[in-house]
Amino acid sequence: MNSSNPTPDTQTPSAETGDQMTIILFSGDLDKALAAFVIANGALAMDTKVTMFVAFWGLNVLRKENTASPAKDFLSTMFGWMMPKGPNRLKLSKMNMGGMGTKMMKYVMRSKKVQSLPQLIESARAQGIRFVACTMSMDVMGISKEELLDGVELGGVATFIGDASQSKSTLFI
């Protein structure tokens, strides 16, 4: 094969082809959120524009950790009290073992010099990932915009469908 014409294995998806990825983060489990952010940061490193549409339990990943919740109705207050605030409080989906599994996973990640979820989130934000919080999910879960990280956009299903229709790949995590 001609060297000026690389094989598909050596071509890098890049901005020149307008690559775009949409990730739906539905889960609030630590391991699934880690997977979503590892993929998002990897795609960003390959010059792929990434939009992360965050819904239901995934909204907990984007919640501020140490912020007072605005006044809410009883059910919204209860949801807020029961759900973890922020990425440091998420649990593993399997082998959590009363929190010991989560602690072991975080310990192993530190010892192997793997970025923590908060570090992966910050890296994604610094590189320009677009976060869109699902407004319907926010209403159902009783989460307000003030409880989310700064810079998170609000949008509905039409926003997701518009982004996904422009993407080469869409992942549901």
* Per-residue pLDDT tens digits for 23-48: 999 999 999 999 999 999 999 999 99
Alpha carbons 131 and 56: distance in angstroms, whole number: 14
In this structure, of 69-78, 81-90, 128-137, the range with the lowest mean pLDDT score is: 69-78
Is it the case that residue 109 has pLDDT exceeding 80? yes
- Please, what are the domains in the chain? 18-64+72-172 (3.40.1260.10)
Query: Which residue, chain included where needed, has tokens 């677009």?
Result: 130
Is the pLDDT at 5 greater than 90? The verdict is no
What pTM value is reported for the model?
A: 0.82
Residue 94: DSSP 8-state: S
**What residues form DSSP beta bridges with 54?**
25, 133
Task: Examine the pLDDT at 17 and tell me if it is beyond 60.
Answer: no
Residue (of 72, 88, 90) closest to 80 by Cα position: 72
Q: Is the dihedral of CA 128, 129, 132, 133 positive or negative?
A: negative
Candidate from 57-61, 95-99, 113-117, 127-131 with smallest mean pLDDT: 95-99
Question: What distance in Å separates the CA atoms of residue 133 and residue 60, rounded to the nearest whole number?
Answer: 11
Distance CA 171, CA 164 (A): 9
8-17, 22-31, 63-72, 77-86: range with highest mean pLDDT: 22-31
- Separation of alpha carbons 29 and 89, rounded Å: 10
In this prediction, residues 78-102 reach a mean pLDDT of 84
Task: Name the token pair of 109.
Answer: 């990640």
Distance of CA 126 to the CA centre of its chain: 14
pLDDT at 18: 58
pLDDT value at residue 11: 42
